[in-house]
Structure 1
Amino acid sequence: MNGTVDGLIRTLDLEKVEENLYRGTSPRSGWQRIFGGQVIAQALVAAQRTVPAERPVHSLHGYFMRPGDPKVPVVYEVKRIRDGGSFTTRIVIAIQHGEAIFTLSASFQKHEEGLDHQVSMPDVPRPDELPHGAALNERILSEAPEPVRRYWERPRPIEFRPVSFDHYLTQKKLAPRQDVWVRAVGEVGDDPALNAAILAYLSDMTLLDTSLFAHGLSVFDARIQAASLDHAMWFHRPVRVGEWHLYTQDSPSSSGGRGLTRGALFSLDGALVASVAQEGLIRPRRAASA
């Protein structure tokens, strides 16, 4: 993934090829497939480019169909489904090698006043109370398996501070829930569309892992084949991704080789800014034939 926020912003700044057609590229990361959050965010940006700024996104629903190839560009085709009095609807198809790798449907709404309520943010330690940097390396990562250390030490545009690292340090079956503080590492600015796109980008991180806690496994376990299958997101309130947000997650079910995880993103002052749901493939790898 991108090592800096500036790199991420460049990745999300799509090239317009033709009316309703946009092209996106991937950073050089050494990964064999494109990070799903990048495809979600780029598809959202493509849709945003066809919608008036005064109509921010309020929901998106996406399906991953094929792994993305990071070595070649992705073409995003936007279909303008509806422009109504209050709502705008777009469908985006992400294409590589002549085939769809991802589809996104997104809905946008002009601002209006209405009824207002939300659930409360969980009572967990604040980000400045959690180990990070050198303290994280010394106290936690030194005991973690090599794949876990490599992942957490890799430079990235999003900083994570998990409330607990227990699931990376043990193979015990744990409750399928976690709380992770997240923020962009750098200045993003005030553009609501860009902040929403980066929030969509980071919303695909750590979710799949939560569905494995109940089985004493993680996405770093070589015995598991893991991949995002679909992704849904609802944007409730304005967000500034350069500030800390609590990403609280739980997995109510896994079955049929799939795990479902729900997420809620809260600002530091406790405002619920977005809700997320994702089902992912968590299939045990089949042993190679003798």
Structure 2
Amino acid sequence: MTVADAGEQSEALTSVLELLRLERTGHDTCSGTSLEHLSGRVYGGQVLAQSLIAAAATVSDAGLPAERLPHSVHGYFLRPGKLDRPITFEVERMRDGGSFSARRTHAIQDGRPILSMITSFQERQPGLDHAEDPPEVPGPEGLESSADLFSRYDHPAASFYARTGAFDIRHVEGSIYVPRGHSPLSRQALWMRSRGRVEADQLTHRALLAYACDQVMLEPVLRRHELVWTSPGLSVASLDHAMWWHRDVRVDEWLLYVQDAPSAQGGRGLGLAKVYDRAGALVATLAQEGMVRVHEGS
């Protein structure tokens, strides 16, 4: 199998990009809508990305002497979001310093926050520079595409993701969407790329990385316990999320996620990921804790 250029935007990717075009409703407020999701609630990566865009809007209009890009976010998912309700993003301008800016964003529905997130921004500056090298893994060529996998299965989840998946995902150890036998590993590697070119600024690419990563962050927890996304009785929800962008990133070029799950306990699991570009540069580090439960008798 050969892997061509990302090509023209898929309809699903275009929908995600439209989702990030928030309506400015006040000096420090924006409004956004939601895409449908199989869970029946707002997808966590969506509200993360939208909150980031809302925060960035108050940095770009702050009259600062140079562009500042997000370098870290720390957020808590507080309530499930409703798909049929608009989301209001209220931004608090916490600080604008000589090099850094900080913003707190509350994503609100029906008067209550569904996400609370702090974002830090920094202008481009020189400094010390080093990073760990990626492990040796097979490239995306020859690995099974999530789109090809979904097209082969007659299952509601497969049909949904075949229609709405904005990213091509290729697991090195084999898909975790359907059972593949016993392999109790707490680590995995996968390649991901948007299904189409993204002609946009670096802020949008960083927001799209936040959008995309939420769908895979807890997979090492499932893999360690020989679970897949279609396991009966499985219930998964993101609780908190942190990410650090180290270098510029393009989501329409192949990105390697190197993931691990150092612990699961008390109905919660922790997922970690390092994200590398195709040249081997470390572009981001991610951490997420989520609720992971298996209801017996389902």
The TM-score with structure 2 as length reference comes to 0.88
Q: 1:261, 1:279 within 8 Å by CA — same for their partners in 2?
A: yes
Amino acid at match of 2:117: L
1:278 to 2:288 alignment? yes
For residues 146 and 101 of structure 2, the distance between their equivalents in structure 1, rounded to whole angstroms, comes to 43
Q: What are structure 1's unaligned runs of at least 5 residues?
A: none
* 1:45 lines up with 2:53 in the alignment: yes
**What corresponds to 2:186 in structure 1?**
176
Aligned residue for 2:277? 267
Cα root mean square deviation, aligned: 2.2
2:141 aligns to what SS in structure 1? Answer: helix
Equivalent pairs counted in the alignment come to: 283
Q: Name the CA distance, whole Å, in 2 between partners of 1:15 and 1:150.
A: 31
User: Does the aligned pair in 2 maintain the 1:266–1:273 contact within 8 Å?
Assistant: yes
Q: What is aligned with 2:21? A: 13
CA shift, 1:102, in A, is 0.5
- CA 133–55 in structure 1, closer or farther in 2 if over 3 Å, else same: closer
1:106 to 114, 119, 137: 119
In 2, distance between residues paired with 1:141 and 1:172? Answer: 24
CA contact (8 A) 2:257 2:276 kept: yes
Structure 1 residue aligned with 2:7: none
| 1:123 has 2:136 as partner | yes
Range that drifts further, 160-169 or 46-55? 160-169
Other structure's SS at 1:113 match: coil
**Given the alignment of the two structures, is residue 203 of structure 1 paired with residue 213 of structure 2, yes or no?**
yes
1:158-173 aligned within 5 A: 158-165=167-174, 167=176, 168-170=178-180, 172-173=182-183
Change (3 A) 1:146 1:27: closer
Q: Distance in 1 between matches of 2:71 and 2:82?
A: 29
What secondary structure is seen at the aligned counterpart in 2 of 1:283?
Answer: strand
In the alignment, structure 1 residue 247 sits paired with structure 2 residue 260: no
Q: CA deviation at 1:272?
A: 0.5
d(CA) in 2 for partners of 1:141 and 1:163?
19
Determine if contact 2:89/2:108 at 8 Å carries over to the other structure.
Answer: yes
Is 1:232 matched up with 2:242? yes
1:68 aligns with 2:81: yes
Letter in 1 for 2:24: K
TM-score (norm 1): 0.90
Query: Does the 8 A contact of 2:233 with 2:297 survive in 1?
Result: no
- Where does the alignment leave 5 or more consecutive residues of structure 2 unmatched? 1-9, 61-65
The answer for the alignment partner of 2:166 in structure 1 is 157
Q: 1:176 to 1:133 in 2, by over 3 A?
A: closer
Structure 2 counterparts to residues 132-143 of structure 1, below 5 A? 132=145, 136-137=148-149
